[in-house]
Structure 1
Amino acid sequence: MTAEKQICLSICVCQLIAILSGVSLLYLAVIVIIPSKNELAMEFNETPIMCTTVEAKDLASGGKKEECKWSTCGEWCLSKGSGTCMQIHVMVRSNGSKVNFRDCVDIADDECSALDVNATHVKYCKKGQCKDLTGLYYCTTDGDNGCSEITPAFVCQSRKIQRESVLCDEKKCKERLNGVYSCKGGRCQHLEEIHKYWRDCERKCTKLEMRERNVVIFSTERLVATACWSMDSPDNNTSASIEAVSSSQEWRDKRQALFIFCTYVKKVTGKRTYDILTEDCFNATLGSADELKNLKDYMQLLRLHQSLGNRSEWVIPPEHTLRVMNNTQLRINPEGCVNTLRKECTAFFKTHAHDGFDGMTPDRYPCYFTDQSREYVIGKFDPRMTTTILLVATILPGCLFILACSCLFICSKSVGVDDEGHLRVTLLQGGGAGAVKEPVQFDELL
């Protein structure tokens, strides 16, 4: 490669870098730099508290044309006005108690649900809402071909399953779904022997064994029942009441049982026994073992727990006593949108958008608040990551832009054109308009 080609290539590369880095700075300023600065300026508390979803609705669904003044999460910040308008309202509260159950045996750990299928959220296949169906669904051919999920509460066994899958995409399903289907990623197979799920399918957790248990833990759609020797709490507010129950002979002899709700439950295996470590616990009360031992159904357990709270003292106070804010907006971040284009909002809604209207436990999760605004809380906050992204988005394209422009300026002062029209490095001789020619003498013209 000749020197002239090297000069041309260098100038072209510098121009390309300058243009790309300049455009990058403009876009990053809108989608990264300004939102990150605003988020850090809001001074959100780095220690999360807990949020419980109390209402979740999509203003853009069902043909509604309500004005979308804010949304919990949008997939692209430059076009927040299009697509869904999911609004999630939460009850913000302090963190619940930690309780450790020691030396536990005979643990029953089941997936149980109080799902009311008639009240659950329906996906309408003719509107393209069935493209991601996964689990068991009961579908009807009426109207827009609505499908309701029954996975949390029912187990359906069928020896006759449709071999060919019905494919559902973003427009609609290949054919109308009618009956009970087993789906995975929008591909559904008909369970042909199941005509009515409430008659032909088995409801989960209707054959429980509650004898010889003194601890019953409700955790989202999960039931943990066991017999423990002792328990303790590291929290000052609840340690006294928990230790009082732990030292009670009636509880140790399994004549009483502790009913409690905990968001997080972890089993630690020992040599012969287990320890159960729980966090964010509330609604703890004592019940009689005689009332518990004959119960076989999860729904009966829930009703017993509720009735105990109405007629006995709380060992750990109920959730509403921890309330900080009520009916507050939830946003994934202060902007209420993300720019990853990796269906981040879809994943966020799966764990944050269940409000419990269908009988299932509402979603509970950590959230972050700031004293500068009581209008909303955010679901994701990592100040270190935000600062890192802000620095990278600012420094990297900024340095490239300055470097490229500096190189172009130097080229304009050090590169010129000689008498034959070739590019030459003039080393700043005579500026950048070209190589300086020697003055022509008058006697040379003669």
Structure 2
Amino acid sequence: MGRKKGAPRIVPEQDSRICASICVCQLIAVLSSVSIVYLSVAVYAPAVRLLESGYDTQPAMCQTRELYWGLTLGDWSSCGEWCLSKSSPPYPQIHVIVRRNGTTIRLENCTRPANVACPPADEESLRKYNCNQDGECETITGVFSCKRGHCANLSEIYSCQTVADGNFIDADRDNLKLNGFFECQKSRCRQIKKTPFHCDRYCPRITTFGINVLLFHGDIVLTAECSKGYTVIEDPEPDPAKQKPPEEQLMWTPDKGVFLAACMKAEKSAGHVNNVHNITALDCTNGTVVPEEKLPAHYMNFTYLWALFEEAQTYKVDPELPPPQNDLIIYNSTRLMINLDGCVNTLRDECRDFVKSHGKDGTNHTGQSRFLCFYHKTDQLYSLARYDLERTKLELILFVTIPFVLAVVSCTSLIVCTKVVKVGDDAKMRVKCRGCCGGNEPPTNNKDVESSQLQQEDKHEDSADPTDDE
């Protein structure tokens, strides 16, 4: 029940400034204490482990070698979405090659530069056939991947070299037996037992007329006709203010043959005169030259180019060209972790993006992921994609200073309030000194309190209902 209209207040109205000050101090004290407990697990302990880990602060180059998906509970993972609990299978497990950086090259006076892309095939976009429905698979032809009668036509995106050596199955009648890989001709399918088998993506043709440079970068090949190629030698001094201008050394001329290399990035210059560009490529390895007559007259496909590039690796190494990758290797195989803990707390599907950008292992001649990473000079087991000591120190200082300062200030303010805020005989809070924790009202003596109480009782009797006297 609410208080009757005109009845005296049992507890007098308090000073809002005092109440607000005490409530704010209590709220800050509680929140800062809770944050200290959470940050001790999420920030403090990982930061201390990172500062004591001993990884080299100078990054190396990592190249993805293999991507596995761990299915056993408790397996290691390159990236987990939440550090405070164990992730569930499957776990992404990325193995990388750790090596020194490749060569930076610059190609001069390049005409007709063109990028020809052959992106990875998207098997999710394939048309699905449900052979469990009558007439659905009467005319299917090609190489199919099937599961319980549901089949996808791999021949739409791949040219596969297969040998069908299993049993014959009628896809329209014995649909439930369609499990695995099959080579089909108008619904008559024969199982492919020997797996895995080799498949090449369907890619656009590469123009070979009038070109003498072919640079692989990712899933793209840059073609051009250039007059000279230089190796760019940069000053190893880490301080940019003390670095000397880079030096250039002649590396290649057209009379040596057609120049091929695998690089992390290749770009043509923005400014050009008469459509003549300069091309700069970073982290180039496996540089080689092939005779011009090795190239087809007008066009070639990616399959031929890949085979040509692999064959060229067996030629005698030219010391002036970008070195073979094997000469730069530090660790031939190591486990990649997104950070020292192998997990993130953002809950924004960061691991999905991490696997997409760092997990390309070159399957079916796709471009391998290349990125800077950090390694331990005496421990080969793990390499890290993220390792920033300066940022870790800054975050540790901020996350220690802010909550602890707020906790100390709020708790000190509450202690001060217990000393200076007094409750009078009229049950009202008042502050002894001016400027402490809120408002300021002069204390009242006992006589004033008694007289105010008598006045309230008189008013109450005068306002009482006349029927009560009867």
| Structure 2 length-normalised TM | 0.68
Select 1:22's aligned residue among 18, 27, 33.
Answer: 33
The within-5 A match list for 1:159-308 is 203-205=202-204, 207-235=205-233, 243=250, 245-246=252-253, 250-251=255-256, 256-269=257-270, 270-272=272-274, 273-294=276-297, 295-308=299-312
Cα distance in 1, alignment partners of residues 290 and 233 from structure 2: 23
What does the per-residue CA deviation read over 1:226-284, in whole Å, with 9 as the maximum and x for residues that have no partner?
A: 111111112389x99972533xx624xxxx20111111112113223111111111111
Residue 357 (str. 1) matches residue 357 (str. 2): no
Using a 3 Å threshold, how does the CA distance of structure 1 residues 408 and 149 change in structure 2: closer, same or farther? Answer: farther
Residue 325 (str. 1) matches residue 331 (str. 2): yes
What does the per-residue CA deviation read over 1:43-76, in whole Å, with 9 as the maximum and x for residues that have no partner?
A: 433321111111211213xxxxx24242111111
1:225 alignment partner, SS class: strand
Larger Rg: 2
**Gap runs ≥5 in structure 2:** 1-11, 129-142, 160-200, 236-245, 435-441, 447-470
Using a 3 Å threshold, how does the CA distance of structure 1 residues 110 and 324 change in structure 2: closer, same or farther? Answer: same
1:312, distance to aligned residue in structure 2 (A): 3.6
2:185 equivalent in structure 1:
none
Question: What amino acid is aligned across from residue 397 of structure 1 in structure 2?
Answer: P
Question: What amino acid is aligned across from residue 305 of structure 1 in structure 2?
Answer: F
Q: Contact 1:241 / 1:316 at 8 angstroms: preserved in 2? A: no
Using a 3 Å threshold, how does the CA distance of structure 1 residues 99 and 406 change in structure 2: closer, same or farther? Answer: same
Question: What amino acid is aligned across from residue 310 of structure 1 in structure 2?
Answer: T
Residue 309 (str. 1) matches residue 326 (str. 2): no
Using a 3 Å threshold, how does the CA distance of structure 1 residues 117 and 393 change in structure 2: closer, same or farther? Answer: closer
Q: Contact 1:329 / 1:377 at 8 angstroms: preserved in 2? A: yes
Q: Contact 1:116 / 1:360 at 8 angstroms: preserved in 2? A: no
1:329, distance to aligned residue in structure 2 (A): 1.0
Q: Structure 1 vs Structure 2: percent identity of aligned residues?
A: 28
1:55 equivalent in structure 2:
66
Using a 3 Å threshold, how does the CA distance of structure 1 residues 151 and 72 change in structure 2: closer, same or farther? Answer: farther
1:346 equivalent in structure 2:
352
Using a 3 Å threshold, how does the CA distance of structure 1 residues 240 and 417 change in structure 2: closer, same or farther? Answer: closer
Question: What amino acid is aligned across from residue 257 of structure 1 in structure 2?
Answer: V
Question: What amino acid is aligned across from residue 263 of structure 2 in structure 1?
Answer: C
Cα distance in 2, alignment partners of residues 97 and 150 from structure 1: 39
Cα distance in 2, alignment partners of residues 421 and 353 from structure 1: 69
1:132 equivalent in structure 2:
none
Select 1:44's aligned residue among 52, 55, 60.
Answer: 55
Cα distance in 2, alignment partners of residues 267 and 327 from structure 1: 33
1:401 equivalent in structure 2:
407
1:233 alignment partner, SS class: strand
Cα distance in 1, alignment partners of residues 277 and 414 from structure 2: 70
Cα distance in 2, alignment partners of residues 4 and 235 from structure 1: 74
2:381 equivalent in structure 1:
375
- Between 288-297 and 380-389, report the one with greater CA deviation: 380-389
1:99, distance to aligned residue in structure 2 (A): 0.7
Using a 3 Å threshold, how does the CA distance of structure 1 residues 421 and 203 change in structure 2: closer, same or farther? Answer: same
Select 1:95's aligned residue among 101, 107, 113.
Answer: 101
Cα distance in 2, alignment partners of residues 404 and 346 from structure 1: 41
1:13, distance to aligned residue in structure 2 (A): 1.1
What does the per-residue CA deviation read over 1:409-439, in whole Å, with 9 as the maximum and x for residues that have no partner?
A: 10111112111111122349xxxxxx99999
Q: Contact 2:14 / 2:428 at 8 angstroms: preserved in 1? A: no
1:335 alignment partner, SS class: coil
Cα distance in 2, alignment partners of residues 49 and 146 from structure 1: 44
1:326, distance to aligned residue in structure 2 (A): 2.1
